Chain A
């Protein structure tokens, strides 16, 4: 892709998951963006955002962690690209809560030893692909259309909610994931559990809750005729993929639904070599399915 005046460059906040359990999300994000000619500069010295555990324990701490990350993000050019739905939610919530609350802002400022910069635009990868890069250009960049692949887009609970905070798309009836993956030639299925919670917060403390919540999601996707799930959150992916075997055992139903990151599917479509997409990092292997559809 030629470098033009409209070359896109972003700061990049991967978050802890993408450096650990969701390395394949990081790898495929870099692979996809590289292929599309979108620059990513990782925020230096970033911290964990604390995700759900932090704000459950101490709201001020949670705000301070993201505020510190926003301060660090000032050191890189461009809007801030975020892949993880939880990190995205925390950064957006922090901006939202501090924007009109001078008292809270000064509290957080004391905690991080400096004023909180709130001007940085925080964007989820989906938003960058859908609006900044644009669906038309994405369509043109596709080398291997995902035709014949029936994808159940799974948003989870954080990506679009609460209303008015992430402002990624309609909070209760979004279509941004469908728009993006359809641009790559995939077929999406209409299904019921796109926005249900997978129970990620309970994955260690009460795994039996996950068996029910994640089980319902897998069952709904299967019933809708999906070949695979597409996700934009490492925690959702963890539950749907890692726990799938346990869910199958508990319910006595075999689902065999790979849960791929949007960047893995799109990466394949724009011709990123499979070896750079971390496909072998998934427990429910997508290899068979992708080979069957002629994508590998």
Chain B
């Protein structure tokens, strides 16, 4: 006869508000095989766990059911407690009467009855449970960082400085991301390039970092400690080993009228180019779409002028497979496009602002390039249409953000501060100019942030108008800004020379497909989801994968750097272990019954099933059977459900256990 202990948790009032926990415990006590049942306010607390341990000793328990929250929350806690009490931890199970019961029901009597059923099923399951031993897997002591903006750079440097190997993959031809495009940074107004480029150089020179630029993650296989990552290194058409970065190819390239995306299309570049002078690596890339040689087979100037003979038109994409132990995802963000959106998009766009058809209506990032000393105007504020210095500039905040009717309800977090910064940069460069800001609220929490904003208003004389803008239209050389001032209750019209829209921060294009490759989850805006909003802000729910920067949600630089270092610390913890213990909840094949149909292999999403040869004493193959690699198995149970001869069993979820659960009802 089994001796099971049942512990029913109140979870403060989270469970006891809806479920009569005492009744659930009393009913459990009467179940056959239950030797002890009780309820307690907080089972996960120290006294709660002591209660459990004491009961194991006093009542000689051989199995435990904790009726409380989701096993994702506290299964580990209670299995550890069971282990300390001398039980095999896999003889301890949780009955989820919070997420599956008290949180989703209102009727107390019905919720209590359901909780009793859930407990009854878990008791039946524990009675049929087997003692299991943890599986150990080796750890590959190398980290992959995806994204070479400030988040990826910070994570990579921290991990590499700790002595671990890092592979950094950046999609663009250079490291730097958005931060390299910025002029000066809040709240101290230090030059972005000055603080960013040394870190880029550090990455390139670090002996522990392998840098792939102009490269993307193609495929990810494996699991924590043992990923196999395929990186596609796109054909640069320039041999990185031979190139000296002299720049002659770009200078001589006859095709010079290609808008440079790094300068938000305000400046021009050649077909063979480095995106900006401080690029790392300082190796040009050939843009084949715009190259005369690739379009017509004529030209070839860059190849002719290249002294070291680095230009290679035949170069192909290269696929590199890297063994990796832990992954940091730091793929950053994009800005809401003010242009017209496709019909099916849930983002409505801004027809009232002209859908991006007015050339002197620009976004914040474009203003950064105008204000940047290394930008297309050398840091002079000139409007795109005619190059004139704008004397009246209107900044509009919350374009796209906090606008449910436009498709985005969240706050983009960085715009209040960067708009305040923009007004200052403008005033510093155009002394007789006037900046106006239309805003809903000034959200400036952060060290020295509110002081910074007040400085823009009080010292730099930016005119802040609380209200939104309903329409922008052209009137001669001016742009008429029609808005409201809700504090005075009046309508405002400003004839501006330049309008800067603080557009929403959004997840990058392709964020969803990368998430699917990695097997991590994302929200409805395609921002990556952390494992716990408060307590696991840098971990993904998928083990071994961590998040840094704006790919997880809008963030400014200080916050991004903090999260990047936190992710690096998590990676270091993981890589400091010789081997990892894994839960033994994996599939097992009863080889004697296996008919080698390999239906299990076909359905396995992890590629964990392989063929195993059984040989006799002479070494002759007598049979072939299916075998599950416990290190790779994800424990999903698909093979168990598929096997026609019921030969595959998932430990912890055996057919016998599941049938017992159903029959107990």
Contact B480 A170 (CB under 8 A): no
With the chains together, A193 CA to B473 CA distance in Å?
8
Q: Does A148 contact B (CB under 8 A)?
A: no
* CB contact list, A107-143 vs B, under 8 A: none
Shortest distance between the CB of A184 and any CB in chain B (Å): 25
**Known contacts A163-B348, A163-B405, A192-B475; is A173 also within 8 Å of B480 by CB?**
no
Q: What's the Cα separation between A196 and B340 when bound, in Å?
A: 21
CB distance from A165 to the nearest CB of B (A): 13
Do A192 and B405 touch (CB < 8 A)?
no
Partner of B351, one of A170, A192, A220: A170
Task: Point out which of A173, A195, A223 has the most chain B C-beta atoms below 10 A from its C-beta.
Answer: A173
Judge if A77 is at the interface, Cβ distance under 8 Å. no
Q: What are the nearest 8 A-B pairs in CB distance? A: A172-B351, A173-B351, A192-B473, A172-B352, A170-B351, A173-B355, A192-B475, A192-B474
Chain B residues in 8 Å Cβ range of A192 = 473-475, 480
Say yes or no for A289: interface residue by CB 8 A criterion: no
B354 within 8 A of A: yes
B410 lies within 8 A of chain A by Cβ: no
Which residues on the A side are within 8 Å of B352 (C-beta)?
172-173
- Give the distance in Å from the alpha carbon of A196 to the alpha carbon of B348 in the complex: 20
Q: List 14 A-B contacts (CB under 8 A).
A: A163-B348, A172-B350, A172-B352, A173-B340, A173-B351, A173-B355, A192-B473, A192-B474, A192-B475, A192-B480, A193-B473, A195-B471, A196-B471, A223-B475
Query: By the criterion CB–CB under 8 Å, are A171 and B351 in contact?
Result: yes
B313 CB, min distance to chain A CBs, angstroms: 44
Of residues 149 through 180 on chain A, the ones whose CB sits less than 8 Å from some CB of chain B are: 163, 170-173
Q: Which residues of B contact A196 (CB under 8 A)?
A: 471
The interface residues of chain B lying within 8 Å CB-to-CB of A223 are 475
Chain A 177-212 interface residues, beta-carbon cutoff 8 Å to B = 192-193, 195-196
Interface residues of B in 324-381 (CB under 8 A from A): 340, 348, 350-352, 354-355
Over the window 452-496 of chain B, the binary record of Cβ atoms lying under 8 Å from chain A Cβ atoms (1 yes, 0 no) is 000000000000000000010111000010000000000000000
- A interface residues, how many (CB within 8 angstroms): 11
Secondary structure class of chain A's binding surface, majority of residues:
loop
Known A173-B354, A192-B474; further 4 A-B contacts with Cβ < 8 A:
A171-B351, A172-B352, A173-B340, A173-B351
Binding site for A on B (CB under 8 A): 340, 348, 350-352, 354-355, 405, 471, 473-475, 480
Least Cβ distance of A194 to chain B in Å?
A: 9
Contacts of B471 in A (CB 8 A): 195-196
CB distance from B396 to the nearest CB of A (A): 15
Which residues of A come within 8 Å of B, CB atoms? 163, 170-173, 192-193, 195-196, 220, 223
- A163-B354 Cα distance, complex, nearest whole Å: 16
User: CB-CB < 8 A to A172: which residues of B?
Assistant: 350-352
Q: What residue of chain B has the Cβ atom nearest to residue A194's Cβ?
A: B473
Q: How far is the CB of B336 from chain A (nearest CB, A)?
A: 16
How far in angstroms is the closest Cβ of chain B from A250? 19
> In the complex, A178 Cα to B138 Cα: how many Å?
68
User: Min CB distance, A295 to chain B, in Å?
Assistant: 30
Considering the chains assembled together, what is the distance between the CA atoms of A292 and B474 in angstroms?
A: 30
How far is it, in angstroms, between the C-alpha of A135 and the C-alpha of B476 when the chains are bound?
32
Best-surrounded residue of B348, B351, B475 (most CB of chain A within 10 A): B351
Q: Cβ of B354: which chain A residues have Cβ within 8 Å of it? A: 173
Q: Which residue of A lies closest to B473 (CB)?
A: A192
Smallest CB-CB separation from A196: which chain B residue?
A: B471
Give the distance in Å from the alpha carbon of A163 to the alpha carbon of B403 in the complex: 14
Report the minimum CB–CB distance from A160 to chain B (whole Å). Answer: 9
Closest chain-B Cβ to A129's Cβ sits at a distance in Å of 21
Residues of A within 8 A of B340 (CB): 173
Which A residue's beta carbon lies closest to that of B482? A196
List the B side residues contacting A163 at CB < 8 Å. Answer: 348, 405
**Shortest Cβ distance from A8 into chain B, in angstroms?**
25
CA distance A195 to B351 in the complex (A): 11
User: Roughly how many angstroms separate A229 CA and B473 CA in the complex, as a whole number?
Assistant: 19
Smallest Cβ distance from B408 to chain A, in angstroms? 15
With CB as the reference atom, state the residue of chain A lying closest to B470. A172
When distances are taken between beta carbons in the complex, the residues of chain A under 8 Å from B475 are 192, 220, 223
User: How long is the Cα–Cα vector from A173 to B357 in the complex, in angstroms?
Assistant: 11
Most-contacted residue by chain B among A171, A192, A195 (CB, 10 A): A192
Report chain A residues within 8 Å CB of B350: 172
Distance in angstroms from A13 CB to nearest chain B CB is 28
B residues near A193, Cβ cutoff 8 Å: 473
Give the residue name and chain of the A residue nearest to B355 (CB): A173
**Nearest-CB distance from B462 to chain A (Å)?**
26
Chain B residues whose C-beta falls within 8 Å of the C-beta of A220 in the assembled complex: 475
From residue B552, how far is it (CB to closest CB) to chain A in Å?
31
Chain B neighbourhood of A170, CB < 8 A:
351
Q: How far is the CB of A209 from chain B (nearest CB, A)?
A: 12
Instruction: Quote the shortest CB–CB distance from A226 to chain B (angstroms).
Output: 15
Chain A nearest CB from B348 CB (Å) reads 7
A172, A193, A196, A220 — most chain B CB neighbours (10 Å): A172
By beta carbon, the residue of chain B nearest A171 is: B351
CA distance A30 to B383 in the complex (A): 51
Residues of A within 8 A of B351 (CB): 170-173
- Bound together, the chains give a CA A84 to CA B473 distance in angstroms of 27
Residues on B with beta carbons closer than 8 Å to the beta carbon of A171: 351
Q: Which residue of B lies closest to A219 (CB)?
A: B475
Kindly state the separation between the CA atoms of A220 and B475 in the bound complex, as whole angstroms. 8
A15 CB to nearest chain B CB (Å): 28
Question: How far apart sit A173 and B351, CA to CA, in the bound complex (Å)?
Answer: 5
CA distance A192 to B352 in the complex (A): 11
From A173, which residue of chain B is reached at the shortest CB distance?
Answer: B351
A173 to chain B, nearest CB (A): 3
Least CB separation from B354: chain A residue: A173
Q: Considering the chains assembled together, what is the distance between the CA atoms of A281 and B474 in angstroms? A: 34
Residues of A within 8 A of B480 (CB): 192
Contacts of B355 in A (CB 8 A): 173
What's the least CB distance linking B562 to chain A, in Å? 40
- CA gap between A196 and B351 in the complex, in Å: 13
Complex Cα–Cα for A173 and B338 (A): 13
CA distance A172 to B474 in the complex (A): 15
The complex places the Cα of A145 from the Cα of B351 at a distance, in Å, of: 31
Closest to A192 in B: B473
Complex Cα spacing A196 to B472, Å: 12
Residues of A within 8 A of B473 (CB): 192-193
Tell me, in angstroms, the Cα distance from A163 to B474 when the chains sit together. Answer: 23
**Within the assembled complex, what's the spacing in Å between the Cα atoms of A163 and B348?**
10
The residue on A at minimum CB distance from B476 is A223
Q: How far, in whole Å, are A171 and B352 apart by their CA atoms in the complex?
A: 9
Instruction: Give the complex CA separation of A195 and B475 in angstroms.
Output: 15
Give the shortest distance, in Å, between B355 (CB) and chain A (any CB): 6
What separation, in Å, do the CA atoms of A171 and B473 have in the docked complex? 16
Contacts of B348 in A (CB 8 A): 163
Assembly CA distance A195 to B480 (angstroms) = 14
CB distance from B469 to the nearest CB of A (A): 12
**What is the CB-to-nearest-CB distance from A252 to chain B, in angstroms, rounded to a whole number?**
19
- Give CA–CA (A172, B348) in the complex, Å: 11
Nearest residue, chain A, Cβ from B352: A172
| Complex: A192 Cα to B405 Cα, angstroms | 24
B622 CB to nearest chain A CB (Å): 69
Query: How many angstroms between the C-alpha atoms of A149 and B649 in the bound complex?
Result: 81
